[in-house]
Chain A
Amino acid sequence: MGETVAGIVANPASGRDIRRLVAQASVFPTAEKANMVQRLLAAFAVTGLDRALVSTDLGGISAAVLRALGRGGAWPKVDFCEDDPITGTAADTTNAVRRMVEAGAGVIVVLGGDGTARVAAAACEDVPLIALSTGTNNVFPQMREATVAGLAAGLIATGQIDPDLVTHRASVLEVVTKARREIALVDVCVSLSRHIGARALWDPSSLTELYCTFAEPDGIGLSSIPGQLCPSPRSSPDGVALQLGPVGDTPYVVHAPIAPGLVRPVGVRGWGVLHPGVRVELAAAGGVIALDGERELELKTGESAFVELKPDGPWVVDVRAAMAEAARKGLLRTDTELGKERRR
């Protein structure tokens, strides 16, 4: 095996949207994101990884990592993604992930919320992702200790664990408009609101259609609506489709945690199974389409849009399975002379 590489993308803007104002969504400080990057690097070193490629940003995360690098530490070689100008937009995540794919990364760890993971997933090709939660609505990223995730990532990137045993392929929802093709990892929602505005969705009365790759009863965000009506596990190849409407006008009302601090009644007209490979036309003309809880696509009057559930989304690392495999193979164990004697 040649040089072993893993990538770390940290989004400085995750966990900063308007939901901190309209609800009590948590704030994830930059300093903690930088600490998580350092915990990942420390874990990478233990696995013998040769090189880590880290994203750069103007929010202070990469600067903090650089300062820590100057103080020395038991880390692999650290390089920063410096070849693309920083735009302060989602393009920074896309560019960093592309550089990591080009550099031959065996795993990419993404620090952010659903929005960051979505952007990374669109660019990571077949490189497995570990998405760690530092955003607002975290359905796709996991709440997990970065040190443990770093061990799992390092063991996969160094080839000590076979990725085929500990990764699975996530489904995605592909949305196609006249000008754009985008994916969502969890949900696609049509909103009557005319503008992207402050991006996050928090008013369910403007929503008309919802499509989810999966729907868990204990989910947060829009997928919690079908999660309480017609749950569909992540392991299912099918998704769910819902028609929404104003409360008082619909046969069903779900009290769903659509954002941290916001449990709102949502009117549901009906629902059904969303089968993979079936193209559904969205009735969104002139409105806005939200991807994973963020208004993203503004449509012109009369412009059509389609959604399709696709089984070929990103490869996702199951950290728990990876660490179980590490235990089974004894990868984080060392046999000592004393131990050998005792076992004799």
Chain B
Amino acid sequence: MTDALRGAYRVMRTIRVFEECVRADFPEFGSRYAGEEALATGVCRHLDGRDAIAGIHRNHGHRIAKGVGVRAIMAEIQGRKTGSGRIIDLSDGPLGCVPLLVCGTALAAKQQKTGGVGVAFLGDGAASPATTLEALNLASAWNLPVIFVAEDAGYADRVAGLGVPGVIVDGSDFFAVHEAAGEAVDRARGGGGPTLIETGFPRSVEGGLDCLQRFRARVTDTGELAEYVLDDIDAEVATLVEDAAGEAKSAPKSPSDELETDGYVSY
């Protein structure tokens, strides 16, 4: 259990430090995920190589949580040849396209009987596009192994009529997200169909609700992890991200004619 807790903290901390590091070079960096690390981490700790995720905005958090290497993502953002693929979109992408893509991966997993699930991370901007509702409907009608993770947008109410269970959890509490996501992933792998997890982010509550601080306070209160263990992880992550940034900056730049490489596939 303590290994799992250490792993979760390492991921959350990496997402935070990665963003701080990128923002130092690119203050206008569009992928702002600070404060939501518990969400990506709480969900992705249940996933493995069979599973696919997608999320439009703030997706460095989702990618790090899913296990994409920090060096590759850093190089990608720095526009280097060693980057992780041409799919980090620093501008606004088409809202609402993610849930349908994930339905596709889930359908593939279902047909190939891999036991894999698809996770779509949705922001509130995706609440209205028709594609979101279409995906929810499709996932329900075809009983697809999909978990829709929606940030604070009132979906839980709307999906009830589609027979998709919608639950609300506190998105800044790793343990709340992790528990709900665990049940949802088990349900999906077991053929139970889609789930929607709506995550609220409580506002302006005394004492602050930063998910990293909350995690740290709780695991040290219970004696599950010692402060020095967490401090060691902080130091380790700082070095990892610093090295990744240094490495990326010295890597060769991607030529402009490679911009669409890996981004589009011809059928």
A residues with a Cβ closer than 8 A to B are: 13, 16-18, 20-22, 27, 29-31, 59-60, 85-89, 91, 194-199, 286, 298-301
Instruction: Tell me the smallest distance from the CB of A172 to a CB of chain B, in Å.
Output: 24
Q: Which residues in B have their C-beta under 8 angstroms from that of A16?
A: 156, 166-168, 198
Cβ of B195 under 8 Å from chain A: yes
A63 CB to nearest B CB, Å: 11
Query: With A27-B160, A87-B205, A301-B223 known to touch, is A196 a contact of B173 (CB < 8 Å)?
Result: yes
**Chain A residue contacts of B169, Cβ below 8 A:** 17-18, 198
Residue B222 at the chain A interface, CB threshold 8 Å = yes
| Of B66-74, B104-112, B115-123, B177-185, the one with at least 4 CB within 8 A of chain A | B177-185
Q: Are B218 and A298 in contact (CB under 8 A)?
A: yes
Q: Looking at A20, A59, A60, A91, which has the most chain B CB atoms within 10 Å of its CB?
A: A20
B218 touches A85 (CB 8 A): no
B224 adjacent to chain A (CB < 8 Å): yes
Number of interface residues of B (CB under 8 A): 32
- Chain B 172-203, CB within 8 Å of chain A: the 1/0 string? 01011011100110010000000100101111
Does more than half of chain A's interface fall in helix, strand or loop, or is it mixed?
Answer: loop
Complex contacts, A30 vs chain B, CB 8 Å:
154, 157
Q: Which residues of B contact A301 (CB under 8 A)?
A: 221-223
Neighbouring B residues of A31 by C-beta, 8 Å: 157
Name the one of A60, A87, A194, A196 contacting B204, with C-beta atoms under 8 angstroms.
A87
B191 to chain A, nearest CB (A): 15
Contact of A21 among B154, B183, B205 (CB under 8 A): B183
- Let me know if B165 is at the binding interface, CB within 8 A: yes
Are A88 and B222 in contact, CB atoms less than 8 angstroms apart?
Answer: no
A18 & B183 in contact (Cβ 8 Å cutoff): yes
B195 and A87 within 8 A (CB) = no
CA distance A91 to B224 in the complex (A): 29
Q: Which residues of B contact A29 (CB under 8 A)?
A: 157, 160
Contact A21 B195 (CB under 8 A): yes
Residue of A nearest to B173 (CB): A196
Q: Can you report 22 residue pairs joining A to B where beta carbons are below 8 Å apart?
A: A16-B168, A18-B183, A20-B165, A20-B166, A27-B157, A30-B154, A59-B154, A85-B203, A88-B202, A194-B222, A194-B224, A195-B179, A196-B173, A196-B176, A197-B176, A197-B179, A198-B167, A198-B175, A198-B179, A199-B176, A300-B221, A300-B222
Q: Are A88 and B183 in contact (CB under 8 A)?
A: no
Which 9 A-B residue pairs are closest in the complex by CB-CB distance?
A195-B175, A27-B160, A197-B179, A16-B168, A300-B221, A20-B165, A198-B179, A197-B175, A301-B223
Q: Would A198 and B180 count as touching, CB distance under 8 A?
A: yes
Q: Could you say which residues of chain B place their CB within 8 Å of the CB of A198? A: 167, 169, 175-176, 179-180, 183
Interface centre among B152, B166, B168, B180 (most CB of A within 10 A): B168
Contacting residues, chain A, for B156 (C-beta < 8 A): 16, 27
A105 CA / B18 CA spacing, docked (Å): 52
Nearest B residue to A30 via CB reads B157
Q: How many A-B residue pairs have CB under 8 A?
A: 88
Contacts of A27 in B (CB 8 A): 156-157, 160, 165-166
Given A17-B167, A20-B167, A88:B224 Cβ within 8 A: no
A22 and B183 form a contact (CB under 8 A):
yes
Inter-chain contact B205/A91, CB cutoff 8 Å: yes
Residues on B with beta carbons closer than 8 Å to the beta carbon of A85: 203-204
Interface string of B145-172 (1 = CB under 8 A from A): 0000000101011001000011111000
Tell me the chain B residues, 206-255 only, with Cβ under 8 Å from chain A: 218, 221-224
Question: Within 8 Å CB of B218, what residues of A?
Answer: 195, 298
Please, which residues of chain A bring their CB within 8 A of the CB of B201? 88
Among B152, B180, B221, contact of A18 (Cβ-Cβ < 8 Å) = B180
CB atoms of A197 and B178 under 8 A apart: yes
CB <8 Å contact, A87 and B179: no
Q: Which residue of A lies closest to B181 (CB)?
A: A198
Given the complex of chains A and B, what is the CA–CA distance between A297 and B29 in angstroms? 39
The reply to whether A89 and B175 contact each other, CB–CB distance below 8 Å, is no
Residues of A within 8 A of B204 (CB): 85, 87
Q: How far is the CB of A179 from chain B (nearest CB, A)?
A: 11
A90 to B156: give the CA distance in the assembly, Å: 18
Shortest CB-to-CB span from A14 to chain B, Å, is: 10
Residue of B nearest to A86 (CB): B203
Q: Are A298 and B166 in contact (CB under 8 A)?
A: no
Give CA–CA (A91, B218) in the complex, Å. 21
Given A16-B156, A87-B202, A87-B204: A286 and B223 within 8 A (CB)? yes
Q: In whole Å, how far is B35's beta carbon from the nearest beta carbon of chain A? A: 14
Known: A27-B160, A88-B202, A196-B173. A60 touches B167 (CB 8 A): no
Q: Which residues of B contact A196 (CB under 8 A)?
A: 173, 175-176
Q: Which residues of B contact A300 (CB under 8 A)?
A: 221-222
CA distance A91 to B167 in the complex (A): 20
Cβ of B223 and Cβ of A17 under 8 Å apart?
Answer: no
Chain B residues with Cβ below 8 Å from A22 are: 183
Contact of A286 (CB < 8 Å), options: B175, B176, B178, B222:
B222
Which of chain A's residues have a CB closer than 8 A to the CB of B198?
16
User: Given contacts A27-B166, A88-B200, could you give 19 more A-B pairs where the C-beta distance is less than 8 Å?
Assistant: A16-B156, A17-B167, A17-B168, A17-B169, A21-B180, A27-B160, A87-B203, A87-B205, A88-B202, A91-B205, A197-B173, A197-B178, A198-B167, A198-B175, A198-B183, A286-B222, A299-B221, A300-B221, A301-B222
